[in-house]
């Protein structure tokens, strides 16, 4: 499976996906695309000899034109599966349709709670006692789509948005590679919005059981 990764920033999740695919027979990271010319993750991908491309969203007046360019580059590189890894742009409906059920996102909250930005700050303010991260298939609503896996941590009395972000990011780094593996090793089947997890997939996700 040829994988494309979309990033906007530091790319720490991207690094974990790259590392996890390094010795895989089934998965190959074909290209990393960033909408942000200053994304730190681009440098790391280059160091690993992975093809990179900056498609600066500011150069496009319409969201659809930016989406079309990203899609074009993915097709040119024969990408067949897409992972958003800290990608901070919203995809238009047409783009989502094109990558339907072949497109994962990671979000630093226990979805469906705290979609969107400033998740950790909002979680702490709300008084919830648990936080975490979610890997899900991409749909057109922001941070919406069938959930593949979640990992959970507690919010302690002394946590602030920075300490919580650190705890959650650590979980993200474990969860995302495992969720991607479910697809590259064909351990899950998806029909429309229904995901069927094989016994092996359940075993993989059991690492995150509480």
The answer, yes or no, to whether the previous bond of 190 is cis (omega within 30 of 0) is no
Say whether 103 is catalytic.
Answer: no
Q: What angle do CA 141, 5, 176 make, to 5 degrees?
A: 75
Q: Are 88 and 163 in contact (CB under 8 A)?
A: no
Q: Per rule CB under 6 A, is residue 153 in the interface with ligand GAR? A: no
Instruction: Decide if residue 132 touches ligand GAR (CB under 6 A).
Output: no
C-alpha to C-alpha distance for 33 and 67, rounded to whole angstroms: 12
6 touches 70 (CB < 8 A): yes
**Residue 90 or 198: which CB sits closer to ligand GAR?**
90
Active-site residue, selected from the candidate residues 57, 91, 103, 107: 107
By CB under 6 A, tell whether 145 contacts ligand GAR: no
Site membership for ligand GAR, residue 36 (CB under 6 A): no
Task: Please identify, using beta-carbon distances, which residue of 40 and 200 lies nearer to ligand GAR.
Answer: 40
Stretch that binds ligand GAR, among 3-11, 57-65, 73-81, 123-131 (CB under 6 A): 3-11
Does 86 sit near ligand GAR (CB under 6 A)? Answer: yes
CB burial of residue 17 (10 Å; 0-12, 13-18, 19+): buried
List contacts with ligand GAR (CB under 6 A).
Answer: 7, 9-13, 85-86, 106-108, 143, 169, 172
């Amino acid at each position: 499976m040829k994988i494309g990764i979309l990033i906007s920033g530091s790319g720490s999740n991207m690094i974990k996906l790259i590392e996890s695919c390094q010795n895989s027979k089934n998965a190959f990271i074909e290209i990393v695309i960033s909408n942000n010319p200053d994304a730190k993750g681009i440098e790391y991908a280059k160091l690993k000899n992975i093809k990179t491309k900056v498609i600066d969203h500011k150069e496009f007046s319409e969201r659809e034109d930016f989406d079309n360019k990203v899609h074009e580059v993915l097709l040119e590189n024969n990408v067949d599966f897409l992972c958003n890894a800290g990608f901070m742009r919203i995809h238009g409906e047409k783009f989502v349709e094109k990558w339907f059920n072949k497109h994962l996102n990671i979000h630093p909250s226990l979805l469906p709670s705290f979609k969107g930005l400033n998740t950790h700050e909002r979680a702490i303010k709300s008084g919830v006692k648990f936080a975490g991260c979610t890997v899900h298939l991409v749909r057109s609503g922001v941070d919406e789509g069938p959930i593949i896996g979640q990992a959970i941590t507690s919010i302690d009395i002394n946590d602030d948005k920075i300490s919580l972000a650190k705890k959650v990011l650590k979980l993200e780094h474990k969860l995302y590679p495992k969720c991607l593996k479910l697809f590259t090793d064909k351990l899950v089947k998806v029909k429309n919005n229904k995901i069927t997890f094989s016994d092996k997939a359940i075993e993989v996700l059991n690492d995150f059981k509480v």
